[in-house]
Amino acid sequence: MIVKIVLMFTLITIWIGLLVALINLFGATKFWLGHATKRTQLKPLKRYPTVTIVVPAHNEALVIGQTVQAILDMAYPSDKLELLLYADNCTDNTAKEMLKVVSKPEYAKQTIKVIQRKGTGGKAGVLNDALKIAQGEYIAVYDADAMPEEHALYFLMRKIQEDPKNYVAAYGRNKTRNAQQNFLTRCINQEIMVTQRIRHIALWNLFGIGYIPGTNFVILTSAMKAIGGWQNGALTEDTDLSFKLMIQGKQIALAYQSEAFQQEPEHLKDYYYQRLRWAKGNYQVVFMNFKHLFDRSHWRVKLEEVYFISNFFWFNLAVILSCF
């Protein structure tokens, strides 16, 4: 009897997983059928809000120069930008590489600060420090290894302006900067492309659900201050932030035309520890937000909590049980 119950549990769970995958595929297909043939027009924005761009960097001397250069070359009015570059507890030449780029004559009139930080909290700690001094109406975050394309920020701000009352944040898509390095990076690039072109787009198109990613996003500065900033020490501060915004009934809009190129692990060991950290962080978020299944939180929060529970507990358990 017990064996039959376990068998039915695993079969139903796996079929539900397949159904969810089909729903994602339907949502993404519907979106792309309506947008694939549309030509992108770069019309001037109704207004150009001030944006503080924050770049946290820890021992990123090899890539930070190219990233800073790409940020400074973005097509957004330079007088509307403030750039805060953080060399966070670095033991290499990260700060020197930053200064080498920002000291060029063409950037002399721009508002740029290179800050050598000695503090705690990791990336979230850097972002909270930046929040205290940010002058922009919005804060944009780019990781040290994430090179935005020329119009990445433009598309993010254009999406925000579609519904500024509800869209307190907007995020774009990421591609693998070192995709052709080896077989592992090609696989990671394929994984990212599929995830972002199918699941993220399906969730936004069907349910209006978006996530704050680790990089290539903007958020209203006042909204960040209202929720108390980023959680110091959080392993996945982006997922934690996404839930906090959804709890308030706010939306994180997908600007699918905004893209950035991000460095990915080139060795299995680095890849393993990156995904282990992400998994631990997502477990933290699941436990922290479990209570919202039973309160009056926004329905998007409940839907996402159910998804995370299903993905990290229920479905994994069913797969393990199916092996016996």
Type and span of the H or E element at 168: strand 167-176
Q: Point out the residues of the chain with pLDDT beneath 70.
A: 233-235, 319, 321-324
Q: What pLDDT score was predicted for residue 231?
A: 81
Q: What pLDDT score was predicted for residue 234?
A: 64
DSSP string, 247-295: HTT-EEEEEEEEEEEE----SHHHHHHHHHHHHHHHHHHHHHHGGGGSS
Q: What pLDDT score was predicted for residue 233?
A: 66
Q: What pLDDT score was predicted for residue 128?
A: 94
Domains of the chain, by residue range, sit at 48-322
Q: How far is Cα 210 from Cα 239, in angstroms, rounded to an integer?
A: 10
Coil vs helix vs strand at 24: helix
Q: What pLDDT score was predicted for residue 235?
A: 63
Q: How far is Cα 78 from Cα 12, in angstroms, rounded to an integer?
A: 55
Q: What pLDDT score was predicted for residue 111?
A: 95
CATH of domain 48-322: 3.90.550.10
CA 49, 205, 192, 301 torsion-angle sign: positive
Q: How far is Cα 68 from Cα 11, in angstroms, rounded to an integer?
A: 50
Which pair of structure tokens corresponds to residue 312? 């990290």
Please tell me the total number of residues recorded for the chain in this structure.
324
Type and span of the H or E element at 147: strand 146-148
- How many Cα neighbours within 13 Å face the side chain of 5? 2
Helix 299-309 to helix 237-247 angle, to the nearest 10 degrees?
A: 140
Q: What pLDDT score was predicted for residue 117?
A: 94
Q: Distances from the Cα of 118 to the Cαs of 64, 90, 91, in angstroms?
A: 18, 8, 11
Q: How far is Cα 314 from Cα 307, in angstroms, rounded to an integer?
A: 10
Which pair of structure tokens corresponds to residue 276? 């282990």
CB 224 within 8 A of CB 244: no
Strand order in the sheet with 138-141: 111-117, 81-88, 51-57, 138-141, 217-220, 167-176, 251-262, 146-148
Coil vs helix vs strand at 169: strand
